[in-house]
Structure 1
Amino acid sequence: MEFVAATNNAHKLKEMRRILERMGHTVLSQKEAGVSLDPEENGTTFSENACIKAQAICEACQKPTVADDSGLCVEALNGAPGVYSARYCGRHGDDGANNQKLMQEMTNVPPHKRGAKFVSAICIWLPNQRHAVFEGECRGSIGFEERGENGFGYDPLFIPDEVGIPGTGETLPNVSHRTYAELSADEKDAISHRGRALQLLEAQLPDFLADASIIGMASGPAQSL
């Protein structure tokens, strides 16, 4: 199936394209679809923001569209930065400043209280207004320093509980405490919040396409810690 990825984030586009193409789909960027919109993400949940983006881009290009809204929820910060993850420092998309603020907020938090999870809500929106949301999460903890060069956003600070075994679909405990940014693409995709949400989409896509009554399919709540 061909999808338009509703994102202007080059890192997110690369990751969504990599995962969906591995599943046999084709992914167009907004530019390739002739769309230059940047919808305002004013929802209060990841799912709401994903739907806002997917609907706007789908209506502009009249092609099946997938959008991701994702973020980091930290237990010691009562779930922050949450839906404000991309603009935690006060401006949008400054990964370095966001990471610096997170480390400052976590300065006096001991190792056993640094639990966190990454959450992703993936919305698929069709030109006939039918849509569904699939939610995935990855649990882990926040490190004391940034490590790794492979990721983006908070990846250098997030230590997942598990890592994927490339080519098997299986996972192992992250005994070496590597961050998202220290994992290979295959190791990360197998356990990441975005990878898991897209796996749910893939598993349920045939039913969604076949049943015209399905709107708003989801895997369950993704906001609470």
Structure 2
Amino acid sequence: MKIVLATGNAGKLAEMTRMLQGYDAEVVRQGHLGIDSPAETGLTFVENALIKARHCAERSGLPAVADDSGLAVPALGGEPGIYSARYAGSDAGDAANIERLLAELSERGQGDRRGTFHCVMVYLRHAADPAPVIAHGSWTGRIVETPRGHHGFGYDPVFEDPELGQTAAELDAPAKDARSHRGQALRALIQGIAAEVAG
């Protein structure tokens, strides 16, 4: 069974492929099929994940998996939320997004540095699937004042796991996968579609 992963991120493809080992599933990235990314016009992680999965399923004629994820900080009214990847602007990179997050927390946070990563993953059997499989994972921690670590991406260097006392960027891949929002969502999604991809 071939499944399209609605992302241009090679790391996500490798992670999904690794976690689907033992199942009768081949995961291909949308770019390998010449599929572009749609505009993310939803107002929630669920809506954006569905938009991306439906776009890929329509253009490929194959089942599709998509995720949408981000960091929600209560002291900032839930920001950056669905705008996490472009918090400092549409062309901003990780460093600029982190810089804005830390500046906003310094100005508006009032000492509350809690943050939660959310990841929603969806699986569509076809573009008109009326009952998509939807999985959610979350990871709550603390936003540190100074970036630490060199692994991962996004806000990982400033997101500290409270139990480990390490940022996500200080964790190796297996340790991060075991705790992260994306790891949780992916395991739940695989459980939800296991019968369909059983070898």
TM-score (norm 2): 0.88
Q: Is the contact made by 1:86 and 1:92 (CA closer than 8 Å) also made in structure 2?
A: no
**Which residue pairs with 1:122 in the alignment?**
121
How far residue 91 of structure 1 moved from its aligned partner, in angstroms, is 1.5
How far residue 160 of structure 1 moved from its aligned partner, in angstroms, is 2.0
How far residue 133 of structure 1 moved from its aligned partner, in angstroms, is 1.2
**Which residue pairs with 2:66 in the alignment?**
67
How far residue 92 of structure 1 moved from its aligned partner, in angstroms, is 4.2
Q: Is the contact made by 2:72 and 2:81 (CA closer than 8 Å) also made in structure 1?
A: yes
Structure 1 vs Structure 2 CA RMSD: 2.2
C-alpha distance 78-40 of structure 1, shift in aligned 2 (>3 A): same
**Which residue pairs with 1:190 in the alignment?**
178
Cα distance in 2 between the residues matched to 1:206 and 1:121:
18
**Which residue pairs with 1:28 in the alignment?**
28
C-alpha distance 17-206 of structure 1, shift in aligned 2 (>3 A): closer
Cα distance in 1 between the residues matched to 2:11 and 2:110:
31
**Which residue pairs with 1:160 in the alignment?**
161
Give CA deviations for 1:156-200 in whole Å, capped at 9, x if unaligned. 111123xxxxxxxxxxx31xx111111010000011101101111
How far residue 13 of structure 1 moved from its aligned partner, in angstroms, is 3.4
**Which residue pairs with 1:165 in the alignment?**
none
**Which residue pairs with 1:104 in the alignment?**
103
**Which residue pairs with 1:83 in the alignment?**
82
Alignment gaps of 5+ in structure 2: none
C-alpha distance 22-141 of structure 1, shift in aligned 2 (>3 A): farther
Q: Is the contact made by 1:150 and 1:182 (CA closer than 8 Å) also made in structure 2?
A: yes
Where does 1:34-49 land on structure 2 (aligned, <5 Å)? 34-49=33-48
**Which residue pairs with 2:6 in the alignment?**
6
SS at structure 2 position matched to 1:106: helix
C-alpha distance 204-115 of structure 1, shift in aligned 2 (>3 A): same
C-alpha distance 43-128 of structure 1, shift in aligned 2 (>3 A): closer
Cα distance in 2 between the residues matched to 1:2 and 1:15:
16
Cα distance in 2 between the residues matched to 1:140 and 1:22:
33
**Which residue pairs with 1:203 in the alignment?**
191
How far residue 35 of structure 1 moved from its aligned partner, in angstroms, is 2.6
C-alpha distance 40-123 of structure 1, shift in aligned 2 (>3 A): same
Letter in 2 for 1:2: K
Q: Which has the higher helix share?
A: 2
**Which residue pairs with 1:16 in the alignment?**
16
TM-score (norm 1): 0.78
Alignment gaps of 5+ in structure 1: 162-172, 211-225
**Which residue pairs with 1:167 in the alignment?**
none
**Which residue pairs with 1:132 in the alignment?**
133
How far residue 93 of structure 1 moved from its aligned partner, in angstroms, is 5.3
Q: Is the contact made by 1:19 and 1:195 (CA closer than 8 Å) also made in structure 2?
A: no
C-alpha distance 22-160 of structure 1, shift in aligned 2 (>3 A): farther
